[in-house]
Amino acid sequence: MRPSSHHVTRCRRCHAAICWALTSANGRRQPVDAEPTAEGNLAVMQGADGVLYVRAVTVARPGIRPGEWQAMPHHATCSNPPPRRSARTPERSTVGVRPVPWQR
Ligand SMILES: [Zn+2]
């Protein structure tokens, strides 16, 4: 299997052919290389809704199933990746939780 041409787009940074897929783990959009590769650690498939889904190929779930293709995350191959922003403060898990004023 390989991606349908209408899923293939261009990376804004390096103009490589990529596909956007949703991670099966948390539904985030992830760019993957459009060209299937046996080196990839991802398995991509098109869902019944026409959306591409990507999952990690792990020891627990190895192998590529029918309808999937093996792909590399584009982050790993982008020739012009965005600068790392490790200096940013990590996302706080307490967003939206406000201390309640003490009342009596
Ligand atoms: Zn790129």
Q: Are 85 and 19 in contact (CB under 8 A)?
A: no
Determine the longest span between alpha carbons in the chain, in angstroms. 66
pTM score of the predicted model: 0.74
| Cα-to-centroid distance, 82 and ligand 1 (Å) | 9
Query: Measured between alpha carbons, how far is 36 from 17 in angstroms, rounded to an integer?
Result: 11
Q: Looking at residue 93, what is its pLDDT?
A: 57
pLDDT at 5: 92
The alpha carbon of 48 and the centre of ligand 1 are apart by a number of angstroms equal to 28
CA 13 / ligand 1 centre spacing (Å):
5
Rounded to whole angstroms, the Cα distance separating 102 from 42 reads: 51
Q: Identify the residue with better confidence: 93 or 51.
A: 51
Distance from Cα 28 to the centre of ligand 1, integer Å: 18
Counts for the chain of helices (H) and strands (E), in that order = 1, 6
Angle at Cα 9 formed by Cα 77 and Cα 5, nearest 5°?
115
Q: 2 alpha carbon to ligand 1 midpoint, in Å?
A: 19
| Predicted local confidence at residue 102, as pLDDT | 74
Distance between CA 71 and CA 56 in Å, rounded?
A: 10
- The model's pLDDT over 52-95, given as tens digits with 9 standing for 90+, comes to 999 999 888 888 899 999 999 999 999 998 787 766 556 555 55
Tokens describing residue 69: 């293709």
Q: What is the mean pLDDT of residues 42-53?
A: 95
